[in-house]
Amino acid sequence: MLARLTSATLRGIDSIPIDVEVDVVAGLPTYHVVGMPAPSVREGSVRIRAALEAVGQTLPNKKITVNLAPADLPKPGAGFDLPIALGILFGEGVFPPDLLERVLVVGELGLDGTIRKIRGALAAAMMARALGMRGILLPRASAAEAAVVEGLEVHAVEHLTEVIAALAGTAALPRGVVGPRARSADLGLDLADVRGQANARKAVEIAVAGGHNVLLVGPPGIGKSMLARRIPTILPAMRHDEALEVTKVYSALGLADGLLSHRPFRAPHHTVSTAALLGGGSVPRPGEISLAHHGVLFLDEVPEFQRAALEALRQPLEDRHVTIGRAHGTLRLPASFLLVAAANPCPCGWAGSSVRECVCAGSAVERYRSRLSGPLLDRMDLQVPIVPVAIGDLRSHQPGEASARVRARVEEARARQAHRLARFDLHTNAEMTPAATRATCALDAASEAFLAKLAAARQSMSARAVDRIIKVARTIADLDGHDTITRDHVAEAANNRALEREPANDPRKFMARTTPPTAGCN
């Protein structure tokens, strides 16, 4: 007898419907799975046999053929155990399949009949609703993710006996319950811990308010990492649609437990591979940039990262997604993140510092700086030098401005942006397309003249750099509560690109600028 159920498999972070066909007929006892199953799916026969025996059922001594359609799509994972086991019972005529009509079934079986957590429960539930199915049957450990999808019956089970009892009519299928939104651990971090560094604090506030990438450069131990790790404390709360997108990414890796409410903060080590950073593998999975979606990706000691990994960031920084190509097709993974990078000015870290003399040869400094290519630096909207803090300020008992006050300004600035950019379906200034920039970032005559003089003074400044200066100026105006961009806003935005790459006869002057970058552009 032929039985059919609907299940799902993950492809990237999206779920794809799979028809599970189980044919149980008289013949030599065999068990075959066709339709490009992964080894974990083929090995399911052992788990299914043991699980059925644990609940008082047996694998029939017949010819069992399982087809997973479409047949030309690879089927990784162990989530087909439960639908195949139920398909065998239906095919043998033990139970009628009516109870699971238009119900998506996914779950991995343990040898004792337990039903274990799966990856991608949220994506499976979203797909089931899109297909017009009435419900989803899945492990209880994954139910909190699926339950956030409205308009779908979520049946959460812990053991195969619960499903058997429902099929036998002695009990109803358990219903899933929406769990509390997952929250980040309170690490006691606050921007008030940062003493001094007024310029760096303001640059970080601008970066968060407009979603602009920022590079912090300064000697070791000066507070670059300390400042970066407090950025999550001034980020605005995620909207519901953003929370769903982020949870979907984490669910695909089995890292979600309910709807995530905090913006992610990812800080991979500099030894991370290109595939781990961008995503990939034989079965492509999201990488760090997708895990940082709608949050922050912090690259500490950024010149120490592999050159290939850094250069691979260029396209995602522009497009806000990453495309991964494989033999069976291409995947598009979300990657809209705020990039925060920190670097020393030279290998020893003391070039241009008044604290300690640099011992690096000029050629070594230039090689170190060249690890960040011009095109990558061009994508850093804010390039901020950080200088040592006076010991008096460092030991002061007067705290800096608290994160709550900064976050209030950030939220107000983002609200202005969201209102202004609503017709373009955008939310932050950094996301603006050329059309949106032209429509919302008009400059007066004084600002245009200043920008022209600036471009003439910095002959190496690219068109992208000019565009990003205008976007940052728009964010500064939003923080000031201005509807128009003034010359002062443009000047401040230009000053925040103080590390534009220029030919340097003495690389030790990299951090020793005594003349503001906008000098001569009055």
Q: How many CB atoms lie within 10 A of CB 338?
A: 23
Whole-structure pTM value: 0.89
Show the domains of the chain with their CATH numbers.
2-168 (3.30.230.10), 191-511 (3.40.50.300)
Q: What is the 3-state secondary structure (H, E, C) of 363-424?
A: HHHHHHHHCCCHHHHHCCCEEEECCCCCHHHHCCCCCCCCHHHHHHHHHHHHHHHHHHCHHH
Whether 193 and 226 have beta carbons less than 8 Å apart is answered as: yes
Q: What is the DSSP string of 22-54?
A: EEEESSS-EEEEESSB-HHHHTHHHHHHHHHHH
Give every strand in the sheet of 338-343, ordered side by side: 265-266, 296-299, 338-343, 214-217, 382-385
As beta bridge partners, residue 34 has 67
Q: Which helix (H) or strand (E) holds 501?
A: none
Those residues whose C-beta lies under 8 Å from the C-beta of residue 384, and which sit 6 or more positions away, are: 199, 200, 203, 214, 215, 216, 217, 496, 498, 499
Tell me how many degrees the CA angle 163-166-168 measures, rounded to the nearest 5. 110
For the chain, 522 residues long, give each residue's pLDDT as a single digit of tens: 899 999 999 999 999 999 999 999 999 999 999 999 999 999 999 999 999 999 999 889 999 999 999 998 999 988 999 999 999 999 999 999 888 999 999 999 999 999 999 999 999 999 999 999 999 999 999 999 999 999 999 999 999 999 999 999 999 988 876 554 554 445 578 998 888 788 899 999 999 999 999 999 999 988 899 999 999 999 999 999 999 999 999 999 999 988 998 999 999 999 999 999 999 887 889 999 999 999 999 999 999 999 999 999 999 999 999 999 877 778 899 999 999 999 999 999 888 777 788 899 988 888 898 899 989 999 999 999 888 776 766 666 677 889 999 999 999 999 999 999 999 999 999 999 999 999 999 998 999 999 888 888 776 678 888 999 999 999 999 999 999 999 999 999 999 886 544 433 333 344 433 333 444 444
Two tokens, residue 58: 């047996």
